[in-house]
Amino acid sequence: MAHLLSLFKFCPKCGSPRFVENDFKSKKCESCGFIYYFNVSASTAVFLTDKYNRLVVAKRAKEPAKGTLDLPGGFVDPYETVEEAVKREIKEETGLKIDRIQYLFSLPNTYLYSGFEVHTADLFFQCRLDEISNLQAADDVEELFLLEQENIQPELFGLDSIRKAIGMWLQKQ
């Protein structure tokens, strides 16, 4: 298996090509001594339901897993709390404003993006709104719709962690 940072050939600090494996998740520059650690990215996903317990489901508009089902959510931006990211991503992808969220669990995930394997810690949340209307698919979402629990098919969700989380969520309902 290739090193996590095998695509990184030059030191990001000084530009030296003497950027070598340090351990399984880091590379060290033999010229300036800089060590770069490959850490996972934080990502959010939300089980957004209405008063009838129907789930808001997104259809992915972009790779990875374009055209498959997903939960609304996305990456946490720099200088942003996870809670702020949840609210921002829901607003960006659905047009909905949410206030209260409840943390459920996390799962590791990897996916190929632009030829690079991105490792994430996917943090799952629950949010229930009395009324969900005027869903507006935007950002990296092609379509949004509400699904009754009995119509949810985990195998149609394209990302491994989302598929697993859907199964876990359904078992607890």
Residue scoring higher pLDDT (150 or 113): 150
Q: Pick the closest to residue 148 from 64, 62, 57 (CA basis).
A: 57
Domains and CATH numbers, the chain: 1-38 (no CATH), 41-172 (3.90.79.10)
**Model pTM greater than 0.95?**
no
Distances in Å between the alpha carbon of 105 and those of 10, 108, 125, 126?
Answer: 37, 11, 7, 10
* Residue 57, helix vs strand vs coil: strand
| Selected catalytic residue, list 21, 30, 117, 143 | 143
Cis peptide before 154 (omega within 30 of 0): no
Whether the CB-CB separation of 54 and 148 falls below 8 Å is answered with yes
- Whether 93 sits among the annotated catalytic residues: the reply is no
DSSP state of 89: H
pLDDT in tens, 134-146: 899 999 999 999 9
According to DSSP H, which parts of 53-151 are helical? 82-94
pLDDT surpassing 90 at residue 112: no
Distances in Å between the alpha carbon of 63 and those of 31, 68, 79, 113?
Answer: 37, 10, 26, 7
pLDDT of residue 1: 78
pLDDT in tens, 51-106: 999 999 999 999 999 999 999 999 999 999 999 999 999 999 999 999 899 999 99
Mean pLDDT across 18-27: 96
Whether the CB-CB separation of 8 and 36 falls below 8 Å is answered with yes
